[in-house]
Amino acid sequence: MRPEPPDIPAPAEPISTVEAARRVGVAPSTLRRWVEQDLFTDGPVDGQWPPTAIAHARIVARLRDRGHSLQEIRTATHEGRLAFGYVEELLPDTTGVYTLREAARRTGLAPKLIERIFAAVGFPTGSADSLSEFDMEMLEHISAVLGAGFPLMALMQLIRVYGQSVAQVADAEVRLFHLYVHEPLLREGVPGIEMAEQMNDLTARLLPLASPVMDHVHRRFLHHFVEQDIVGHMESDLGTAGAELGRLRVAIGFADLAGYTQLTEQQGDLEAAGVVERFVANVADTLPEDARIVKTIGDEVMVVSTDPAALTDWAVGFQTLVSGTTLPRIGVHAGEVVYRDGDYYGREVNLASRVAARAGAGEVLVTRAIVEASGRHLAFEYIGEVKLKGFDEVTELFLAGLPEE
């Protein structure tokens, strides 16, 4: 069943320019001038002002009081920045005060390298031309890490991962704030000034939390992965001996929900998103210690482990624990992959994905590499040699499961 749409209050009666001016606290002629100056995206129609336009006019009035020009307000309005403009007041000043040449001199990094670093982080092109004090601090840290002997190739990958991850965090913060704070206030018809103040207050409380939380989560994960790496070196069933630099031997699992598209059609996007959220949470809650979720794409989860037997056992055990109309289908394969920018690439990753795509609802399909690494407690039913999409050679596939008692 589709979820009920949220209650949206009926639009209020339009208001005359004189009354609107009274509510905003400016002269009617001022309001008319603002309209002529194109400061509204949703302005008055036939001299009648909708409440949203009055709310916007209040924000314009406030900005004018604070010394912003009509040109600035017009640009901000049309760029859609106005609703979130208050956030910028809470963020540190990132105005550029150093040239690229000055930055290079101070940090000891070549100008070209600084440009590469900015591109790797994901900053817009040309942003390395003018650098703020915070940019300089970041570059000095990077310079120190390079000076300590960390390879540039690895550092650039790390910087790309930082950029992508933190960009995702910032994007999520703004989007979730918009969806769950800004939108509900708009729907409630909260006046602009009051809304801006509420959002300002909430943002001011949230922002100082973000860095300590990320710092703590980062440290916790570092601890976990350092331990895992040490144990992996000692116990890895696959080993990395013989693998080229930057390549790893791992077990790769892909799991998705069979019938997800149909579920979305039948129950709507929100309900289907809830099913995916529970599925991903169930995977995360039950994975063995040496496995981790690399990424999720829609309803698909990619998992990597240094222990192919444990990952396969998990997959078989997980299938016994799940229920519902949309059962997972899981494919597991093992091989040598390229590790780059926090992700895993290569033929073996593609193969694992194709194996999963061949699995049916509730099934675990595996390759011979997995059968050979797994214990005898599992049953492997030979499916046959299968030509997987995009591969010239056939792949032997097996259905993994619990043996009959």
The minimum distance between CB 13 and other proteins, in angstroms, equals 46
User: By C-beta, is 78 or 216 nearer to other proteins?
Assistant: 216
User: By C-beta, is 65 or 285 nearer to other proteins?
Assistant: 285
217 binds other proteins (CB under 8 A): no
d(CA 113, CA 117) in angstroms, rounded, equals: 6
Could you tell me if 380 and 400 are in contact, meaning their C-beta atoms sit under 8 angstroms apart? yes
Task: Give the one residue of 227, 269, 289, 372 binding other proteins; rule: CB under 8 A.
Answer: 289
310 binds other proteins (CB under 8 A): yes
What are the CB-based long-range contacts (under 8 Å, 24+) for 373-376? Answer: 373/237, 373/238, 373/251, 373/308, 373/309, 373/312, 373/334, 374/308, 374/309, 374/312, 374/313, 374/400, 375/309, 375/313
Rg (CA), the chain: 28
CB under 8 Å to 14, separation ≥6 — which residues? 44, 45, 48, 49, 50
CB under 8 Å to 92, separation ≥6 — which residues? 134
| C-alpha distance from residue 355 to each of 119, 158, 192, 197, 363 (Å) | 36, 30, 54, 53, 11
d(CA 303, CA 321) in angstroms, rounded, equals: 18
377 binds other proteins (CB under 8 A): yes
238 binds other proteins (CB under 8 A): no
Could you tell me if 128 and 118 are in contact, meaning their C-beta atoms sit under 8 angstroms apart? yes
Size of the site for other proteins (CB under 8 A): 23
Task: Give the one residue of 189, 191, 288, 362 binding other proteins; rule: CB under 8 A.
Answer: 288
378 binds other proteins (CB under 8 A): yes
Task: Give the one residue of 7, 13, 79, 285 binding other proteins; rule: CB under 8 A.
Answer: 285
The minimum distance between CB 316 and other proteins, in angstroms, equals 5
379 binds other proteins (CB under 8 A): no
The SS3 assignment for 253 reads strand
The minimum distance between CB 149 and other proteins, in angstroms, equals 38
The minimum distance between CB 303 and other proteins, in angstroms, equals 12
User: By C-beta, is 57 or 238 nearer to other proteins?
Assistant: 238
- The stretch near other proteins (CB under 8 A) out of 87-95, 264-272, 283-291, 345-353 is 283-291
179 binds other proteins (CB under 8 A): no
Task: Give the one residue of 135, 256, 313, 348 binding other proteins; rule: CB under 8 A.
Answer: 313
380 binds other proteins (CB under 8 A): no
- The stretch near other proteins (CB under 8 A) out of 115-123, 155-163, 173-181, 286-294 is 286-294
The minimum distance between CB 320 and other proteins, in angstroms, equals 6
CB half-sphere exposure, 50, CA atoms < 13 A? 12
The C-alpha angle with vertex 163 and arms to 137 and 91, in degrees rounded to 5, equals: 55
Could you tell me if 304 and 332 are in contact, meaning their C-beta atoms sit under 8 angstroms apart? no
Give residues in contact with other proteins (CB under 8 A): 281-282, 285-289, 310, 312-318, 320-323, 375, 377-378, 402
